[in-house]
């Protein structure tokens, strides 16, 4: 049995309001990559680590997700991206922080994983490492889309409004926005019974310069070991303070995957963390809990693809 699950970010408050005009494009992206990579995973031509790398790359290429092209902008109006990847069987990991030039941050993290040491690289040196390993580089402007510029402008105007709170200074990329969702992640189980996890993000609109969320922190936003692989999305600070992805693995030693996922989100919530996660274990069980209005998500399992945004999966038309 093989499994590939992806998420494209969680967010929003209140009841699910239905799809936006941009959602079909996000759904199409997830469906296409799940069909193609899921089939290759099932055929045994992809490892779990390859599947999560390629899945996240495909979502980095989709401008409507907040990773790679179309990442959100920080307080200065620039894009900086974080990513991490972990292979369960030997706990090999790679993480990159504050990339500004690499088209595929997850591929840079993957090269680090393969190299074996160091596990984390930050800033221009991380982009240089990517370039040296053949990862395409771009000018800063290449990553910026009209949608993200509009979100940033709105954030800037609100922030300059007298009485704006600190909380409003760093908005989750999707809060209050119809079309701003989008940290991306993937977890997979391959034919050899190995699992892997990967996560990639532009962070949060208006984040302070140098701010690092949970996404590139092994154990917080991403985790994989000999039993389970986890990728998280949400208010990163709370996922860091609860070491959310690793906690999921620890809980799962003594409780079912579903209970462990719900437990982790319960633990994150008191720290201001709203979000979700996806996880797969070596038995082929998969969970995708979230405590926000929505979480873009999809899964390839038993040869079939299911994709959802709100509470239920989208019924094929």
Which residues are catalytic, by number?
183
Is residue 3 within 8 Å of 300, Cβ to Cβ? yes
Query: In the complex, what is the shortest distance from the CB of residue 1 to ligand ASP, in angstroms, rounded to a whole number?
Result: 28
- The stretch among 23-31, 107-115, 153-161, 209-217 that binds ligand ASP (CB under 6 A) is 209-217
Among 151, 200, 205, 215, binds ligand ASP (CB under 6 A): 215
Q: What is the enclosing helix (H) or strand (E) of 9?
A: strand 3-11
Please name the residues in contact with 15: beta carbons below 8 A apart, sequence gap of 6 or more.
293
β-strand pairing of 92-99 with 81-87: antiparallel
Query: In the complex, what is the shortest distance from the CB of residue 303 to ligand ASP, in angstroms, rounded to a whole number?
Result: 30
89 touching ligand ASP, by CB under 6 A: no
Among 59, 172, 244, 279, binds ligand ASP (CB under 6 A): 172
Q: What values do phi and psi take at 202, rounded to 5?
A: -95, 0
180 touching ligand ASP, by CB under 6 A: no
Q: Using CA atoms, how far apart are residues 292 and 180, in angstroms rounded to an integer? A: 14
Among 8, 9, 70, 94, binds ligand ASP (CB under 6 A): 9
38 touching ligand ASP, by CB under 6 A: no
| Residue (of 114, 6, 11, 100) closest to 62 by Cα position | 6
SS3 160: helix
What's the token pair of residue 274?
A: 């709203």
183 touching ligand ASP, by CB under 6 A: yes
- The stretch among 83-91, 211-219, 243-251, 294-302 that binds ligand ASP (CB under 6 A) is 211-219
Query: In the complex, what is the shortest distance from the CB of residue 95 to ligand ASP, in angstroms, rounded to a whole number?
Result: 13
214 touching ligand ASP, by CB under 6 A: yes
- The stretch among 33-41, 120-128, 229-237, 282-290 that binds ligand ASP (CB under 6 A) is 229-237
The vertex-97 CA angle with 95 and 103, nearest 5°, equals 90
Q: What values do phi and psi take at 195, rounded to 5?
A: -115, 160
What's the token pair of residue 130?
A: 């990517």
Residues that bind ligand ASP (CB under 6 A): 9, 172-173, 183, 201, 203-204, 213-215, 233-234, 236
């Amino acid at each position: 049995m093989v499994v590939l699950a992806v998420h494209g970010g969680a967010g929003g408050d209140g009841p699910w309001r239905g799809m936006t005009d941009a959602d079909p494009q996000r759904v199409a992206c997830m469906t296409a990559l799940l069909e193609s990579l899921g089939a290759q995973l099932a055929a045994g031509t992809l490892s779990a680590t390859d599947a999560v790398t390629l899945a996240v790359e495909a979502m980095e290429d989709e401008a409507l997700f907040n990773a790679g092209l179309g990442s959100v902008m920080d307080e200065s109006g620039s894009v900086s991206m974080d990513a991490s990847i972990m292979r369960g069987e030997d706990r090999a990991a790679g993480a990159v922080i504050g990339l500004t030039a690499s088209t595929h941050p997850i591929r840079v993290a993957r090269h680090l994983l393969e190299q074996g040491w160091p596990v984390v690289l930050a800033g221009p040196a991380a982009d240089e490492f990517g370039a040296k390993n053949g990862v395409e580089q771009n000018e800063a402007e290449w990553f910026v889309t009209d949608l993200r510029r509009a979100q940033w402008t709105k954030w800037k105007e609100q922030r300059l409004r007298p009485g704006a709170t600190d909380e409003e200074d760093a908005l989750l990329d999707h809060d209050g926005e119809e079309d701003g969702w989008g940290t991306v992640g993937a977890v997979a189980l391959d034919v050899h019974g190995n699992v892997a996890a990967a996560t990639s993000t532009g962070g949060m609109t208006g984040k302070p310069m140098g701010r690092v969320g949970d996404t590139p922190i092994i154990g917080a936003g991403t985790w994989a070991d000999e039993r389970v692989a986890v990728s998280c999305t949400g208010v990163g600070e709370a996922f860091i303070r609860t070491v959310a992805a690793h906690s999921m693995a620890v809980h799962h030693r003594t409780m079912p995957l579903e209970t462990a996922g719900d437990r982790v989100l319960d633990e994150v919530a008191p720290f201001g963390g709203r979000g979700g996660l996806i996880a797969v274990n070596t038995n082929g069980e998969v969970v995708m809990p979230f405590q926000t209005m929505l979480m873009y998500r999809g899964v390839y399992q038993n040869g079939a693809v299911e994709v959802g945004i709100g509470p239920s999966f989208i019924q094929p038309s």
